[in-house]
Amino acid sequence: MSDLAGTLMERLTAEFASARDPERAVGMEAYMRDQFAFHGLPSPIRRARARAALTGLGPWSADDLRAVALACWDREEREFQQFACDLLTAHVTVPGPDFLGTLRILITTKSWWDTIDPLATRVVAGLVRRHPALVARMDEWHREENMWLVRTAILHQLHYGAATDTDRLFGYCAAQARHPDFFVRKAIGWALRQYARTDPAEVRAFLAEHAADLSPLSIREASKHL
């Protein structure tokens, strides 16, 4: 681990521990179906403590970001993984295309929606946008067995708006229309609902064409503002 990453992890560990709220942690753990331990830090407090830990540190290289993210993923408390997502989002323009390998590790380890969604819609999104050759990897991910990679591929264009590659958006949604998992079906609906802000007619046409294959959840989510 780099000196910069090591210093941050030491500070962050102390900041989070000093604000620990065991009673609140119980509720947070239950909300996450007891999959992760928590310090019990609400997002505003977690982010305030993180800002204190980050004071005076930087600039950040891709290697620093990788070291911090992996170190955070090794920690038991979920706040560390959530912090890593915030850090990567804030420095999304730093890494090069090879960083996608690190993101794959983060996406497929300790996976749940609270880390997957910022990684997909902000970090992977930014990386693919800056390095268009990576769309080939999204083409691979949307057919992976790992449902979180599938969700990431479907959601990575969520904030692209008029720049959305509609062939891929609709192609991914059609390919996974019968996926059995809630989180993939929800992602399909979310991605389509968001794109409907740009082109509602095209989303309506897609829903009509694939009504027999799409789950009621996907259709309901996609149709909310149509």
Residue 215 counted as domain residue: yes
Residue 99 counted as domain residue: no
Residue 158 counted as domain residue: yes
Per-block mean pLDDT, blocks of 10 residues, the chain (226 long): 92 98 98 97 98 96 98 98 98 98 98 98 98 98 98 98 98 98 98 98 98 98 95
CA atoms within 13 A on the CB side of 35: 11
Residue 124 counted as domain residue: yes
* Same domain as 82, residue 186: no
CA atoms of 149 and 131, how far apart (whole Å) = 18
Residue 1: the pLDDT is 74
- Going by C-beta distance under 8 Å and a sequence separation of 6 or more, which residues neighbour residue 10? none
Residue 211 counted as domain residue: yes
Q: With 0-12 CB in 10 A as exposed, 13-18 as middle and 19+ as buried, what is 70?
A: middle
H/E stretch holding 120 = none
Residue 98: the pLDDT is 98
Specify whether the CB–CB gap between 139 and 168 falls below 8 A: yes
Specify whether the CB–CB gap between 218 and 188 falls below 8 A: yes
* Same domain as 116, residue 89: no
Domain extent for 4: 1-94
pTM of the model: 0.96
